[in-house]
Structure formats: C-alpha cells, structure tokens
Amino acid sequence: PRQPAKTLWYDRPRYVYLEFCVEDSTDVKVTIEDQRLVFSCKNADGVEFYNEIDLYARVNSKDSREKRSDRSITCFMRKWKEKVAWPRITKENIKPAWLSVDFDNWRDWEGDEELERAMVEQYAEV
C-alpha cells in the first residue's frame, strides 16, 4: 500500500518549493505539469510513497527541477506569474494532513530575490 510522504512547502517571489521528507529514497519519480505535481519513491524499508498535488496556480514545468538528498527530495517550480504570492500550494482550499508550511524557510519577500537566486543557483550546481 502506498502512503503520502510528509511534505513541507514554502513560497518565494519566483518559485514555489516543496520538500518531500523521505529518508534514503530510491526510485524517485517527479512529474511536474502546468498545474499538477506527482511524486513517488520508496524508502530503505521498501515502503512506497505517493503524493499528487493539484497546484494552486500555473507553473512553468520546463523551468522546474528536483534535488534529492539523504533526508528528502526538494522540488522547486517556477511560477508562471512571478511576484504573485501563493496563499496555499493546493488548488482546493483543503489542507491534507501530510502537508505543512515550512516555517523555517517562510519569510517576507522584501529584498529576498537575491537570496532566492543564490539558492536556485546552488541547487542547479549540484
């Protein structure tokens, strides 16, 4: 049986970030469409995780990527309309139990673009 991975998300001027918290993931598959993200993987114990999110707004699927670490898989998706805040990540105003805001990374936007660019470049280099 598949189960949803615990997921954190946060919003930035140009990108929306999602972090799927699965340690030692294998078989990671991430599909990013204009308004939907599908994620699946297994953990070291062979448990299958599956998350499907209908996104609040449109993203540029060509300028979106993911980065895997031992602790999680982070996806960042380029917003179609930049500088427009997303009040939530899901299309419908219901919060799934497995989804929460990443308050450590949630900040006010002012003066944040340089920081964001640096983060994205850092991801891109890996």
Domain chopping of the chain, boundaries: 7-125
**Amino acid identity, position 79:** K
Q: What does the pLDDT read at residue 112?
A: 67
pTM to 2 decimals?
Answer: 0.87
Yes or no: say if 7 and 21 are a contact pair by the CB < 8 Å rule.
yes
The closest alpha carbon to 25, from 3, 43, 49, 48, belongs to 43
91-107 tens-digit pLDDT: 999 999 999 999 888 87
Q: Which fold has domain 7-125?
A: Immunoglobulin-like (2.60.40)
The closest alpha carbon to 24, from 41, 6, 7, belongs to 41
Q: What does the pLDDT read at residue 56?
A: 98
Q: Which residue has the higher pLDDT, 110 or 44?
A: 44
Q: Which residue has the higher pLDDT, 25 or 123?
A: 25
The residue-averaged pLDDT of 9-22 equals: 96
Q: What does the pLDDT read at residue 45?
A: 95
Q: What does the pLDDT read at residue 120?
A: 75
Q: Which residue has the higher pLDDT, 114 or 12?
A: 12
